A and B are shown apart, each in its own frame.
Chain A
Amino acid sequence: MRRLQQFAYPVTAALLALGLWYGLAAGLGVPGYLLPQPHEVARAFGDEFLTLLRGLTTTGAAALAGLALSATLGLGMALPLGASRVLRQALYPHVLLLQIVPVVILTPLLVLWLGPGFPSVTAVTFLITFFPVVSNTTQGLLATPQVLLDLFRTRKASKTQEMFLLRLPYSLPHYFDGLRIAATLAPVGAIAGEFFAGSGSGGRGGLGYLVIVYFSRHETAALFATGFTACLLGFLFVGAVSIAARLSLRHWYESYRADSQ
């Protein structure tokens, strides 16, 4: 029953939104180049299917590479931050800076340094997804309950044992929370990167590049279709992270266990 609700509620909300959309576009007579009707978007989706699919794989590959970099380097960065107060105070503001600097300012620089295409798009994705992973994992490493730290201390555990047998596994749920946020940001980062760096990679422009193309041609319906494709990419990413989290944490909580049964 709950599963049915989980499915039925968002679908109902989506159908209502679709109705509202039709009402706005057709009922108020908004012209198609401003707000295409849903069926026009569906048609554009069909017409541009192969182009969009190619865009999806190009953007998806760069986003995935960026996310993978964040998942590994973010964890690597969080370890020293979680282990030492001095390092945390010295480095954390700079990690935060990476998140604060608008990525559109860094992107042209990355294109200059790495050249257009996959490497710089990956780098942009990495920059935008790195912080949530580092920040959440560091919080997780610091959130280890005192009673478990006391247990390790009364058993004379070394600092290394405390980190790898206690703090690190304990931070896993936080790590996956960070990764889930990063997964929603990865397609955004990749598409933003492609505005600058998407062209010139052997004609394989990603979704970001397609946005520029469709915009210049005033193909609003195709723009909408690109938007939905980007959403699909985001859903795929978040879904993949959620499955990984569920598999890794299935012994932790009742909720994970209940779902797997």
Chain B
Amino acid sequence: MDECGPYCLILTPSPRSSTCDPRTWSERQREGVHCVAALAREVPALPRFTRAPVRVFQFTGKELAMFLRFDNVAHTYADSGTVLDIPELTIEEGSFVALIGSSGCGKSTFLRLLSSLERPSTGTVHIAGAPADGTPDSLAMVFQEPALLPWLTVENNIALPFRLTGKKRSERRKAAERGARRVGLADALSLYPNQLSGGMKMRVSLARALATEPRLVLLDEPFAALDEITRNSLNEDLSLLHHRNRWTTVLVTHSVHEAAFLADRILVLSPRPGRIAADLSNPAPQPRPAAYREDSSCLKTVTALHRKLREHAFA
């Protein structure tokens, strides 16, 4: 509600089409419609819709300003040639995008470009309308490994971003407690990483990322090393966290099931140089409970994704 502020919800069948009646939100959502923000005063019935998975888009004239935009982006490494080639791509604010493809197809490079860990060889990556120039404040990245500092407690690991920005100890403590609570680790604050299981370490890593209240969350195969049960449970948590915090989330994964379960939109990358070979959408509402795995829409996405991978990713 408060995130909407003076905005209200206007539904459109697609981000670029004209507005339509907000009262049919729940039906429209099932059909995969998108939600955009416009001036609130114009629609008084706002409170009824704010419990729905709201995605707030800036509405500038008739065109939506996309949160992430790739403009003629190509990236080349000296020793392995062009790894990624994306002439045009836009990603809406608040969406959950999964990136899937064979090894070495540039999935991680995609995230490194978004996080400004690397600059594209050609073209521009735009974040929130501005060219990515140094890592934005509102970005959090979760890596393939938990990337915890072994000499710090869970509390201090979660609070690390605040330590780097010179926040006071009391604030750091508060942020760490809040972060730990959100991933169900409130009792583990005084433990050290070597006392945690692989799943718990990844939760700490997630807590550290979300403690900074990011707008953009980049996940680089974060659950690849975990067993399936832990992975599923973390996926459910992630779906909920994404939904509650209204992140724009980009997930790189090798798992078709993970992509289908979590993402609103799935990009299939071709083998090197990675190009977007398929762009699938999965309009099922977020957050997705465990039972969604057996839902026909999830299974349909899995099947479609398998087919696309067979066609494109292993050519």
- Please tell me if B53 contacts chain A, counting CB pairs below 8 Å: no
CB of B139 within 8 A of CB of A154, answer yes
Which among A148, A156, A257 is the interface contact of B149 at CB below 8 angstroms?
Answer: A148
CB of B164 within 8 A of CB of A156, answer yes
Q: How many Å from the CB of B107 to the closest CB on chain A?
A: 15
CB of B164 within 8 A of CB of A147, answer no
Closest residue of chain A to B150, judged by CB? A252
Chain B residues closer than 8 Å to A169, beta-carbon distance: 149, 151
Closest residue of chain B to A172, judged by CB? B151
Interface string of A250-261 (1 = CB under 8 A from B): 011110010000
CB of A252 within 8 A of CB of B151, answer yes
CB of A154 within 8 A of CB of B135, answer yes
Interface string of A40-56 (1 = CB under 8 A from B): 00000000000000000
Q: How many Å from the CB of A28 to the closest CB on chain B?
A: 54
- Please tell me if A157 contacts chain B, counting CB pairs below 8 Å: yes
Closest residue of chain B to A170, judged by CB? B149
- Please tell me if A166 contacts chain B, counting CB pairs below 8 Å: yes
Per the CB 8 Å criterion, the residue count for chain A at the interface is: 22
Segment touching A, from B65-73, B140-148, B172-180: B140-148
Chain A residues closer than 8 Å to B164, beta-carbon distance: 152, 155-157, 161, 165
Chain A stretch 71-86: residues in CB contact (< 8 A) with chain B = none
Chain A residues closer than 8 Å to B198, beta-carbon distance: none
Chain B residues closer than 8 Å to A253, beta-carbon distance: 150, 194
Q: How many Å from the CB of B77 to the closest CB on chain A?
A: 15
The verdict on A254 contacting B194 (CB below 8 Å), with A150-B117, A156-B164, A169-B151 known, is: yes
A41 to B232, CA, bound (A): 69
Q: How many Å from the CB of B143 to the closest CB on chain A?
A: 5
Interface string of B118-139 (1 = CB under 8 A from A): 0000000000000000110101
Q: How many Å from the CB of B248 to the closest CB on chain A?
A: 16
Q: How many Å from the CB of B113 to the closest CB on chain A?
A: 13
- Please tell me if B163 contacts chain A, counting CB pairs below 8 Å: yes
A170 to B151, CA, bound (A): 8
Which among B137, B147, B163 is the interface contact of A148 at CB below 8 angstroms?
Answer: B147
Chain B residues closer than 8 Å to A147, beta-carbon distance: 143-145, 147
- Please tell me if A151 contacts chain B, counting CB pairs below 8 Å: yes
Chain A residues closer than 8 Å to B49, beta-carbon distance: none
Interface string of A157-179 (1 = CB under 8 A from B): 10001000110011010000000
- Please tell me if B160 contacts chain A, counting CB pairs below 8 Å: yes
A152 to B147, CA, bound (A): 10
The verdict on A151 contacting B141 (CB below 8 Å), with A156-B164, A166-B149, A169-B149 known, is: yes
Chain B residues closer than 8 Å to A155, beta-carbon distance: 135, 160-161, 164
Interface string of B273-304 (1 = CB under 8 A from A): 00000000000000000000000000000000
- Please tell me if A218 contacts chain B, counting CB pairs below 8 Å: no
A155 to B211, CA, bound (A): 12
Chain B residues closer than 8 Å to A156, beta-carbon distance: 134-135, 137, 164
Q: How many Å from the CB of B212 to the closest CB on chain A?
A: 8
Chain B residues closer than 8 Å to A148, beta-carbon distance: 147, 149
Closest residue of chain B to A162, judged by CB? B164
The verdict on A154 contacting B115 (CB below 8 Å), with A169-B149, A251-B150, A252-B150 known, is: yes
A77 to B64, CA, bound (A): 56
Chain B residues closer than 8 Å to A157, beta-carbon distance: 164
- Please tell me if B59 contacts chain A, counting CB pairs below 8 Å: no
CB of A151 within 8 A of CB of B143, answer yes
Q: How many Å from the CB of B194 to the closest CB on chain A?
A: 6
A254 to B115, CA, bound (A): 34
Closest residue of chain B to A255, judged by CB? B194
Q: How many Å from the CB of A167 to the closest CB on chain B?
A: 11
Interface string of A123-162 (1 = CB under 8 A from B): 0000000000000000000000101101111111100010
Chain B residues closer than 8 Å to A153, beta-carbon distance: 117, 135
Closest residue of chain A to B166, judged by CB? A161
Q: How many Å from the CB of A147 to the closest CB on chain B?
A: 5
The 9 closest A-B CB pairs, nearest first, are A251-B192, A252-B150, A147-B147, A154-B141, A147-B143, A151-B147, A157-B164, A154-B135, A155-B161
Q: Which chain A residues have a beta carbon within 8 Å of chain B's beta carbons?
A: 145, 147-148, 150-157, 161, 165-166, 169-170, 172, 251-254, 257
Beyond A145-B147, A154-B140: 8 further Cβ-contacts under 8 Å?
A: A150-B117, A151-B141, A166-B149, A169-B149, A170-B149, A251-B150, A251-B151, A252-B151
Identify 13 residue pairs between A and B in the complex whose beta-carbon atoms are under 8 Å apart, listed by A's number. A150-B117, A150-B141, A151-B147, A153-B117, A154-B139, A155-B160, A155-B164, A156-B134, A156-B137, A165-B163, A251-B194, A257-B194, A257-B195
